[in-house]
Amino acid sequence: MEWLDKVVTDEKQVVHREELRNFVFEGEPFPLVDRQLGIRKPGRLPAALSILTTYTSDNERPPYEDAIGSDGLLRYKYQGHDPQLYTNVGLREAFHRGVPLIWFFGVGQSRYLPIYPVWIVADEPEKLQVAVALSADQRKTSTSVSTPIERRYATQTSKRRLHQPVFRERVLQAYGNSCAICHLRHSSLLDAAHIIPDHEEQGIPAVSNGLTLCKIHHAAYDHNLLGIRPNLTVHIRSDILLVVDGPMLKHGLQEMHDAHLSVPRRKVDRPNPEAIAKRYARFMTSQLGQVE
């Protein structure tokens, strides 16, 4: 985890499989992920060290469905169907010992977002899964009796610590780490914007409901200073076009009027036309209240 602290930065948040396989500890090879399995249980440790979720593109079904339970905590599926398999025993041992693990979450081919430390807080052999806490607060969440407030809080933590960073990485990668409007490539200034907001039912965390936008264009999109037309060109609000101001307004907004959006190469990752149309209709409605 100390090593991950050093290799993971604001600019580079993902680690490559090779880096994890080639890890050396005290002069000896010590892979941080298993060659084939999702659970890494090193022979010389009593408990599992890491869990891994394989990357799947949005049109494939994930091999392991790590769902959020009714208590708000994420679940991680056992390896296969035998609770006594050594990797599953390793997970249980991590639970009994209360030791932290690393969750490598696939965001591209052989690329993982490391989420750590995480803890196994319940073993559910009848469902062939364990419950995973992503924060010290979540460790205190009861998996059997929890109040609605606790559940909601735990669910928010699961989304903030896992789903949101995973969504961001997937969207950024699909867009080649560059703003779809101005092509800015500075990762720390890029966001994964939702086309339909995530608190709405259609606001799904699929890449096709996301856009890589720089901070300025994300804020302008969310505040209806700019809209994206169904033909994927940029529409700058008319009153913004008339204002005289500094270079950010001139180059960053006014000159982007009618610009074509850059979209991902893969069709499945491109903006969902229905979502774009729905959002654009909202943008146009918001313009009605504007004084020309």
Candidates 35-43, 155-163, 176-184, 231-239 — which segment interacts with Zn ion by CB under 5 A? Answer: 176-184
Candidates 11-19, 45-53, 171-179, 273-281 — which segment interacts with Zn ion by CB under 5 A? Answer: 171-179
Output the smallest distance, CB 278 to Zn ion, in A. 22
Question: In this structure, what token pair is assigned to residue 172?
Answer: 């950024």
Question: In this structure, what token pair is assigned to residue 267?
Answer: 């069709």
- Tell me the C-alpha to C-alpha distance, in Å, between residue 17 and each of 22, 40, 72, 73, 210: 9, 13, 29, 27, 26
Name, in order, each residue with C-beta under 8 angstroms of 185's C-beta and a sequence gap of 6 or more. 177, 178, 179
What are the DSSP E strand ranges found in the chain? 15-16, 24-25, 28-29, 39-40, 50-53, 74-77, 101-108, 111-124, 129-133, 190-194, 210-214, 226-228, 234-236
Q: Residue 140 or 251: which CB sits closer to Zn ion? A: 251
Q: Residue 40 or 217: which CB sits closer to Zn ion? A: 217
Q: Residue 41 or 168: which CB sits closer to Zn ion? A: 168
d(C-alpha 51, C-alpha 136), whole Å: 18
First to last CA, the chain: 55
Output the smallest distance, CB 190 to Zn ion, in A. 8
What is the SS3 assignment for 94?
helix
Candidates 6-14, 63-71, 126-134, 183-191 — which segment interacts with Zn ion by CB under 5 A? Answer: 183-191
Residues 206-235 close enough to bind Zn ion by CB under 5 A: 214, 217
- Candidates 52, 107, 179, 195; binder of Zn ion (CB under 5 A) is 179
Q: Residue 194 or 217: which CB sits closer to Zn ion? A: 217
Output the smallest distance, CB 92 to Zn ion, in A. 48
Output the smallest distance, CB 215 to Zn ion, in A. 8
- Candidates 107, 182, 226, 234; binder of Zn ion (CB under 5 A) is 182
Strand 210-214 versus strand 39-40 pairing type: unpaired
Check if the beta carbon of residue 252 is closer than 8 Å to that of residue 216: yes
Output the smallest distance, CB 31 to Zn ion, in A. 39
- Candidates 181, 192, 196, 220; binder of Zn ion (CB under 5 A) is 181
Q: Output the CA torsion sign for 218, 222, 224, 227.
A: positive
DSSP letter for each residue of 20-35:
HHT-EETTEE--SS-S
The count of residues interacting with Zn ion (CB under 5 A) is: 6
Q: Residue 101 or 182: which CB sits closer to Zn ion? A: 182
Candidates 83-91, 117-125, 163-171, 177-185 — which segment interacts with Zn ion by CB under 5 A? Answer: 177-185
Q: Return residues touching Zn ion (CB under 5 A).
A: 179, 181-182, 184, 214, 217
